Amino acid sequence: MKVEALDSGVVRSPRRAAEHQTHRDSPVRTCVGCRQRALIGELFRVVVVDGRLAVDERRRLPGRGAWLHPGPECLTKAERRRAFPRALRDPGALDAQAVRDHVAGGAPSETAPGHPRGRTE
Ligand SMILES: [Zn+2]
């Protein structure tokens, strides 16, 4: 005698595969290091400030931005491929120290010293 499946309590949430959908408003960018597409939330934005690369933590700085995974591999790849000057349209020797610090330090907490909370506007 067989008991019918008793797993009525199991609710499988059907994951709607969003991978194949190309919503126009889906925030996806290409990492300049590994060239893979990822959600904006998984990447951080790099901009040029005074001839140096800077991490745009709020993703609000004007101008061109390059997107990168927060990992040393992608940063190394990006530097090796000269992806930053290309993506940012800045042929200068871009100092990537700030980006390196950002990657090495992991995700810094929001209480970075010396950063007034958006009072400069
Ligand atoms: Zn990457």
What domains can you pick out in the chain, each with its CATH number? 27-104 (3.30.1230.10)
Per-residue pLDDT for 24 more than 80?
A: no
pLDDT for 74:
97
Q: How far is the CA of 69 from the centre of ligand 1 (A)?
A: 4
For the whole model, what pTM was predicted?
0.66
pLDDT for 121:
46
pLDDT for 93:
86
Q: How far is the CA of 77 from the centre of ligand 1 (A)?
A: 8
Q: How far is the CA of 14 from the centre of ligand 1 (A)?
A: 29
Per-residue pLDDT for 86 more than 90?
A: yes
What's the whole-number average pLDDT of the chain?
81
Work out the pLDDT band at 109, boundaries 50, 70, 90. low
Ion ligand 1, residue ranges at CB < 5 A:
31, 33-34, 69, 74
**52, burial (CB in 10 Å: exposed 0-12, middle 13-18, buried 19+):** middle
75 sits in which H/E element: helix 72-80
